[in-house]
Amino acid sequence: MAMTARRRWARAAAWLAAAVLAPAAVAQDPPAAAPVHDPANGDYGKLQRPSEAFAALPLDKRGRVDWMKSLRGGLIQPRADVKGEQSMSVLKLDIVMRNTAEMPYVTFPHESHTMWLECSNCHDGIFVAKAGANPISMTKIFRGEYCGVCHDRVAFTTMFACERCHNVLQPGSQAWWADESAAPASAPRAAPPKRRWPW
């Protein structure tokens, strides 16, 4: 029997809700059989659970750890090497991506990323270091490509946090995000635009 469009939509909406609206603690705890831990090791029980480790860290509006706020507040200190003898090579370079249809342009802040990672973590395996060489789209990000390699997995969730990346207003447009702290200081608040979903 063929599935009606209404039933397909209901199933897709249920799947999306389950995937996106899952409790934050579940998303931040590793699976019971995390491949990096050996439960047979006698010291396995000494490891701190993520929920315990994250308890003192600030949360974002979705209830998940706000890693940048934690870093900037000095609550965590990433190391450039295992021994902590080297310092991170921070690159202060913002890239503005304008291929965003009617959405605000995207700012990619190298500084926020290089406070954690070496350039080789992304270039040239995930991103080609050349303007226009990466056909990034939200569909690909949601599938775990490009920005989605980290975001929606270990970094902040992109769904319902559009303003964290889409934060440069196009000429003649107004800000629509609810969280003013994520918006540029000069951006006025406005009602959200009508959205067209890709499905």
Residue % of the chain over a pLDDT of 70: 71
**Does the structure show a pLDDT above 60 at 22?**
no
Residue pLDDT, tens place only, 145-186: 999 999 988 888 888 788 889 999 999 888 876 554 444 443
Q: Distances in Å between the alpha carbon of 62 and those of 15, 65, 120, 165?
A: 18, 9, 30, 16
Most confident among 40-49, 118-127, 183-192 (mean pLDDT): 118-127
**Does the structure show a pLDDT above 70 at 24?**
no
Residue pLDDT, tens place only, 83-117: 889 988 999 999 999 999 989 999 999 999 999 89
> Residue ranges per domain, the chain?
1-29+42-55, 58-199
CATH code: domain 58-199 is: 3.90.10.10
Question: Edge to edge, what strands does the sheet with 94-97 contain?
Answer: 94-97, 105-109, 166-168
